[in-house]
Amino acid sequence: MVPSDLPKAKQTALGLYVTAHEAYERWRAAPATVKVLDVRTPEEYIFVGHPPMAVNVPLGFQTYRWDPVKGYFDLELNPDFVALVRQLFEPGDEILAVCRSGGRSAVAANLLAKEGFSNVWNIVDGVEGDLIDDPESPHHGKRMRNGWKNSGAPWTYAVEPEQVLLPEDRRGK
């Protein structure tokens, strides 16, 4: 069931949703079987930080093409995304997908669902959480409401290279 206040961009075909706090509790209860998939860019994974148990398979890669309508640089879809996920997970595995704030992880969940993955949960508040919408707050416009970083769950900037899967043409020699 779709939560009534869940934005369309965070909804998935599978209809499986958790908050970051709930995702951490699910993982903590069964770390051998519950997997955390971080679909953000490698730059976000490295420089913003990540859940220590998360593997990074980027849904897309940062470009330097400015989109004036969106107000940010475009992302280029990772054509090997599903193939790389298949290297790590089976279609029936419980996968908790996370991105910055729940939109890209919804796209990732939908791509995986089309390829036969049936147990992909969208972490709807993502890594950084939702924006503070209070002009009186010094945090107005910042992602400091909910999300993995704000939930008290473990967090790291340490990178284990085997936890980052990239297409062959993007790997260092």
Q: What is the pLDDT of residue 1?
A: 58
Question: Per-residue pLDDT tens for 7-17?
Answer: 999 999 999 99
pLDDT in tens, 59-91: 999 999 999 998 989 999 999 999 999 999 999
Between CA 132 and CA 149 the distance in angstroms is 14
How many independent structural domains does the chain possess? 1
- Residue 3 counted as domain residue: no
CATH number, position 154: 3.40.250.10
Quote the pLDDT of residue 4: 75
Does any domain span residue 171?
no
Asked if residue 168 is part of any domain, the answer here is no
- The verdict on residue 141 lying in a domain is yes
Q: What is the dihedral of CA 18, 21, 22, 28, to 10 degrees?
A: 130
The mean predicted confidence, pLDDT, of the chain is: 93
Is residue 146 assigned to a domain?
Answer: yes
d(CA 45, CA 56): 7
Residue 172: inside a domain, yes or no? no
Burial degree of 138 (CB within 10 A; 0-12, 13-18, 19+): exposed
Report yes or no on 43 lying in a domain.
yes
Domain membership of residue 122 as a residue range: 10-159
Hunting for tokens 């995702």 — which residue is that? 23
Q: Is residue 55 part of a domain?
A: yes
Strands of the 120-123 sheet, one edge to the other: 17-18, 120-123, 94-98, 34-38, 55-56
